[in-house]
Amino acid sequence: GQNIDQPTEMTATEGAIVQINCTYQTSGFNGLFWYQQHAGEAPTFLSYNVLDGLEEKGRFSSFLSRSKGYSYLLLKELQMKDSASYLCAVKDSNYQLIWGAGTKLIIKP
Amino acid sequence: GAVVSQHPSRVICKSGTSVKIECRSLDFQATTMFWYRQFPKQSLMLMATSNEGSKATYEQGVEKDKFLINHASLTLSTLTVTSAHPEDSSFYICSANLGGPTEAFFGQGTRLTVV
């Protein structure tokens, strides 16, 4: 079956750096996405990786290793507003999004 | 970027009644839209894939007669929760993409409460 794993919850300190990992096993691969979701709201797009390597976008970076079925989202200079759930999703061979359960990130002052 | 509009954002209905949720792609045509359900503290669960001009494809365990999906045009898909029960209370989200490997664009979500 298809499976995406990410930690359930993480805690970090304001101003620090946090890395959220995601491992996947899917039928085919057409890109990996990271979304941010605040409680009661729809997910918002953060990043997209289809080739191996690091994609940097401001305070957020995302890394992909296709051979290892592994990605991480790196958040720098954490702010209180970064407290949210972070969802990892992979598009399979049918371009259907397979979702991880999400990682709840708690930022402490 | 592409915009998907979902309406209503919140709805409260009585048990036994039906509720319709609309999902519109505002600046692009979407031959396929997706309907998700999300329970508190859980991830998105795909309910069905809505196909313009044809029947929706439902995920295993989702009752097609209870969750009616209509995709009559390239910019509108509707989800009707029929004979709603309190256990249908949830957050429903639609999404669409421009095809291929592009990102999914989400509607704002609908918080349904059945009393």
Q: Are A30 and B107 a contacting pair at CB < 8 A?
A: no
Q: Are A87 and B103 a contacting pair at CB < 8 A?
A: no
Q: How far is B109 from chain A (nearest CA, A)?
A: 6
pLDDT at B101 over 70: no
Which residues of chain B make contact with A97, given a CB cutoff of 8 A? 34, 46, 104
pLDDT tens digits, one per residue of A10-56: 999 999 999 999 999 999 999 999 999 998 888 999 999 999 999 99
Other CB atoms within 10 Å distance of the CB of residue A78: 19
pLDDT tens digits, one per residue of B49-95: 988 888 899 999 999 999 999 998 889 999 999 999 999 999 999 99
A 19-38 near B (Cβ less than 8 A): 30-31, 33
Instruction: Give chain A's mean pLDDT.
Output: 94
Residue B100: predicted pLDDT? 64
Residue B78: predicted pLDDT? 96
A44 touches chain B (CB under 8 A): yes
> How far apart (Å, rounded) are the C-alpha atoms in residues A23 and A72?
9
pLDDT at A104 over 80: yes
> How far apart (Å, rounded) are the C-alpha atoms in residues A106 and A39?
12
Q: Are B99 and A95 a contacting pair at CB < 8 A?
A: yes
- Cα dist. A43→A64, A74, B35, B98 in Å? 21, 18, 13, 17
Confidence at A6, pLDDT banded by 50, 70, 90: very high
Bin B41: left if φ > 0, else alpha if -120 < ψ < 50, else beta: left
Q: Are A40 and B91 a contacting pair at CB < 8 A?
A: yes
Beta-sheet pairing, A53-57 with A60-65: antiparallel
- The phi, psi pair for B85, rounded to 5°, reads -120, 160
pLDDT tens digits, one per residue of B5-52: 999 999 999 999 999 999 999 988 888 899 999 988 788 889 999 888
> How far apart (Å, rounded) are the C-alpha atoms in residues B91 and A88?
19
Helix, strand, coil percent content, chain B, rounded in steps of 5: 5, 50, 45
A51 touches chain B (CB under 8 A): no
Q: Are A42 and B108 a contacting pair at CB < 8 A?
A: yes
pLDDT at B1 over 90: no
- Using CB atoms, which residue from A30, A41, A87 is nearest to B109? A41
Average pLDDT over residues A49-73: 96
Q: Are A96 and B107 a contacting pair at CB < 8 A?
A: no
3-state SS class at A81: helix
By CB atoms closer than 10 A (0-12, 13-18, 19+), residue A55 is middle
- The phi, psi pair for B88, rounded to 5°, reads -80, -10
> How far apart (Å, rounded) are the C-alpha atoms in residues B103 and B95?
10
Confidence at A95, pLDDT banded by 50, 70, 90: confident
Other CB atoms within 10 Å distance of the CB of residue B110: 23
